[in-house]
Structure 1
Amino acid sequence: MTSEGAADTVDQDVFGGVDSHTDTVHVAVISDNGGHLADAEFATTAAGYVAALAFLTAHGRVIAIGVEGTSSYGAGFTRTARSHGHPVIEVNRPDKAERRRTGKSDPIDAYAAALSGRATSSPKDDTVGGIRAVHNTARSAVKARTAALNQIGQVLVTAPEAIRAKYGQLKGTDRTEALARLRPAGDALHVAVLTALKSLARRVKELTAEHDALTRALDAEVTTHNPGLRAAYGVGPDTAAQLLITAGGNPERMRTEASFAALCGAAPVPASSGRTNRHRLSRGGDRTANSALYRIALVRMSGDARTRAYVARHVAAGRTKKEIIRMLKRAIAREMFRCLTTTVTTPGIADLRPQRQAKNITLTAVAQHFGLWPTTISRLERGLSRDDDLAHAYRDWLQAA
């Protein structure tokens, strides 16, 4: 290639594409009109990422890089590319129909990512990476604890009659505590079964303590990251973390609340044909985010006065519970989008407990005055639940007392 030809190559606009794996990333380069220029494979190391970027820039001005899996296998390359000033575009996995037509290989996927790099979907940033790690670990602890509890039940089903009669009738924490204190004795069969039950019960206790500690850490993380979201009614540490993970630390990538609702699978999908004009429930989107919205809806239907009034109106209008929950999830998605994309101030409650204690008023007295349980007042004082109307009424009552 002549020096003039090399200069032309460097001056041209190119797009990059990355097919990421555990040990390697396959990088492809295309011209601005979609022509295939080159592809190569690099290791998933710091040096490999730098070499991959040098390979891209050697072919021209890099307009954008499409990366498959920016939050998983491609996270390391994404961080390096961004630190070098390259715009990164998050791309979806290749369409199944297209894959059946063209086949699959690392170069094919990399070129497909490069073509997708001409789109405008920004990837999530790393600010919620810690929340994602703690959230996933907490959920895995719940799954492991559930598996251990199920195994205890299965062992008791086939256990000798004496063991089954003694421990089979116990439930929940009582059974776990009793089994954890066992001292296996008897014949070989009884010793083996009791040893297994004791080990499983201790595992359940350890996983419960681990999950509680992770939940406290998760609560602190999400409250620091987005106090307005965490303070919203019905939003606990797990649901707040899931919504933050779904939206990413840079929620400005979602342009409208409708796009967030669609991302959560809470937006109605047109299902019209001919003379039929209707919508159906979306089955797409992030199903874990949809589950988070569902849990928020259930909590609000149980304890939020405005939501209960809303449900009552629609029940009187003849709508089913399923339809009402679907409408609630759409409305909650709108509220969550506002919490994720704007700064929502939360009224201070730190003064409530000191005021009550200074006047020697008990939680029971406060609860009786407002017709609530003492636990409700305690959770409000500690910031574990939010009720702005109750907080204002409580403060006014304390000042007048």
Structure 2
Amino acid sequence: MTATTRALPDLVGGADTHADTIHVAAIDRLGQDLGDTEFPTTAAGYEAALAFLSALGTVTVLGVEGSSSYGAGLAHAARSAGIEVREVTRPDRAHRRRRGKSDSIDAYEAARATLSGRADAAAKLQRIEAIRALHNSRRSAVKAGTAAMNQIHQMLTNSPDTVRERYRRLAGKALVNALAGSRPAVCSDPVARAVLTALKALAKRHQFLSGQAEELARQLRELTRVANPHLLSLRGVGSNTAAALLITAGANPSRLHSESSFAALCGAAPVPASSGRTTRHRLSRGGDRRANHALHTIALVRMSNDARTRDYVNAQRHKGRNDPEILRMLKRAIAREVFRSLTRDLAPPQLADLRPLRQSKNITLTAAAAAMHTYITKITRTEKGTFPDYDLAQRYRTWLQAA
């Protein structure tokens, strides 16, 4: 008679992650400790960690603390191996005072949080982290470029007359290009030469940062289009605002279970501010401020460019509501649209038929732009889908079909 092989139990894994090491632990379905050990944060270390857990049983789920930072490599390796990965938040201080702290304790605690359901959020995807990296890098480039431009204007104000009079009538890109192409060495006055040298350095810095921001914005636009093309089709949503909303949603997947929770996450939920005979709500001051700023930007774009939004704003003003109240209502409505786009995997409107339809009827871009009361470049970008205007696309298609 041959001996039967004992089946390995199902287990839940946990990982405490650091810059150079990861500590993994395993527990069974009853919460009993099965084993733990430490591995380096290398590809071989991640493979060895998963092999260690698999030797103890069948890994059903792995809880990782810091799945978007120190634990990103382990989370990616686990997903590639077909293991479900959960995001584990850091235990509160009161719990740590009771249980103590060590890498082994934290790894077991990550596993128990996953088993109990306290860690129920999916691990953050590397695609969202890529968007976060590009978004943050672009923001810093734009901020540094603005600081350089402010320095240029301040320095020109205090510069010698020969320098100030030469450049005072220029502004924006023309000023930067003129300063970047200047020749400080020809100035006979040493003070003017030094100031112009500094201005030239600032102008070249601004040019470099502007080019860097444009390249990062291009890459960010491609990633956001892949991540959620429908989000970019919403009125007033650009690659920058879409990136901010995708980052907020990707970092907080457990808070996307309803429209109201997402609105609260973005600081767009109504907060009661009534007193006496006055019944009103105010803007929320909580939530993710970058997501709130993205909703604010979208609302401002719609207020200036969208006819339906302008009509709505005028109607609310006639009812006696002020601009902050109207903005709050707009942001809440936009949050509802964004939530549907983030959670329903909607397809964006199709644009590929516009160019063939126009060419089949021998209509030039000039004639199309004149009929749509817009620029040729806007028609071209909408046809190609590079910077599409989806409202224009709908009107454009209707006009082409009737032409």
- Scaled to the shorter chain, the TM-score interval is 0.7 to 0.9
Does the aligned pair in 2 maintain the 1:67–1:117 contact within 8 Å? no
Written as runs of structure 1 = structure 2, the 5 A alignment for 1:200-279 is 200-248=202-250, 254-268=256-270
Aligned to 2:337: 335
Change (3 A) 1:97 1:327: farther
Written as runs of structure 1 = structure 2, the 5 A alignment for 1:2-401 is 11=9, 14-30=11-27, 32=29, 39-57=36-54, 61-95=58-92, 98=95, 106-107=103-104, 109-118=106-115, 119=117, 120-156=120-156, 158-167=158-167, 170-185=170-185, 186-248=188-250, 254-268=256-270, 281-340=283-342, 341-348=344-351, 350-351=353-354, 355=358, 359=362, 363=366, 380-381=382-383, 383=385, 384-388=387-391, 390-401=392-403
Rounded to whole Å, the distance in 2 between the matches of 1:387 and 1:259 is 28
Does the aligned pair in 2 maintain the 1:122–1:253 contact within 8 Å? no
Worse-matched range after superposition: 247-256 or 338-347: 247-256
Amino acid at match of 1:210: Q
Per the TM alignment, residue 107 of structure 1 is displaced from its structure 2 partner at its CA by: 4.6
Amino acid at match of 2:180: A
Rounded to whole Å, the distance in 2 between the matches of 1:50 and 1:351 is 50
Does the aligned pair in 2 maintain the 1:145–1:207 contact within 8 Å? yes
Please provide the CA RMSD for this pair: 3.8
Aligned to 1:4: none
Rounded to whole Å, the distance in 2 between the matches of 1:207 and 1:143 is 9
Does the aligned pair in 2 maintain the 1:300–1:307 contact within 8 Å? yes
Rounded to whole Å, the distance in 2 between the matches of 1:99 and 1:176 is 55
Rounded to whole Å, the distance in 2 between the matches of 1:52 and 1:271 is 53
Does the aligned pair in 2 maintain the 1:367–1:377 contact within 8 Å? yes
Rounded to whole Å, the distance in 2 between the matches of 1:234 and 1:245 is 18
Does the aligned pair in 2 maintain the 1:232–1:386 contact within 8 Å? no
* Total equivalences in the alignment: 388
C-alpha distance after superposition, 1:289-332 (max 9, x if no partner): 22211111111111112222222222222222222222222211
Change (3 A) 1:35 1:148: farther
Amino acid at match of 1:247: A
SS at 2:269 equivalent: coil
Per the TM alignment, residue 75 of structure 1 is displaced from its structure 2 partner at its CA by: 0.8
Does the aligned pair in 1 maintain the 2:39–2:46 contact within 8 Å? yes
Rounded to whole Å, the distance in 1 between the matches of 2:377 and 2:250 is 34
Per the TM alignment, residue 371 of structure 1 is displaced from its structure 2 partner at its CA by: 5.7
SS at 2:110 equivalent: helix
SS at 1:27 equivalent: strand
Rounded to whole Å, the distance in 2 between the matches of 1:157 and 1:100 is 58
Amino acid at match of 2:299: A
Rounded to whole Å, the distance in 2 between the matches of 1:28 and 1:42 is 11
Worse-matched range after superposition: 189-198 or 369-378: 369-378
Rounded to whole Å, the distance in 1 between the matches of 2:208 and 2:334 is 35
C-alpha distance after superposition, 1:86-124 (max 9, x if no partner): 321112233356567777654554444333323211123
Amino acid at match of 2:358: Q
Change (3 A) 1:204 1:350: farther
Worse-matched range after superposition: 292-301 or 238-247: 238-247
Identity among equivalent pairs (%): 53
Does the aligned pair in 1 maintain the 2:282–2:325 contact within 8 Å? no
Does the aligned pair in 2 maintain the 1:349–1:391 contact within 8 Å? no
Per the TM alignment, residue 180 of structure 1 is displaced from its structure 2 partner at its CA by: 0.8
Rounded to whole Å, the distance in 2 between the matches of 1:40 and 1:281 is 49
Rounded to whole Å, the distance in 1 between the matches of 2:382 and 2:102 is 56
Change (3 A) 1:148 1:80: same
C-alpha distance after superposition, 1:351-387 (max 9, x if no partner): 2586289655564x66665666777656555543434
Does the aligned pair in 2 maintain the 1:89–1:117 contact within 8 Å? yes
Does the aligned pair in 2 maintain the 1:227–1:346 contact within 8 Å? no
Does the aligned pair in 2 maintain the 1:263–1:285 contact within 8 Å? yes
C-alpha distance after superposition, 1:264-309 (max 9, x if no partner): 333346899xxxx997754444322222111111111111122222
Per the TM alignment, residue 64 of structure 1 is displaced from its structure 2 partner at its CA by: 3.0
Does the aligned pair in 1 maintain the 2:351–2:382 contact within 8 Å? no
Unaligned runs of 5+ in 2: 1-5
Per the TM alignment, residue 79 of structure 1 is displaced from its structure 2 partner at its CA by: 0.9
Does the aligned pair in 1 maintain the 2:135–2:240 contact within 8 Å? yes
Per the TM alignment, residue 148 of structure 1 is displaced from its structure 2 partner at its CA by: 2.2
Does the aligned pair in 2 maintain the 1:125–1:250 contact within 8 Å? no
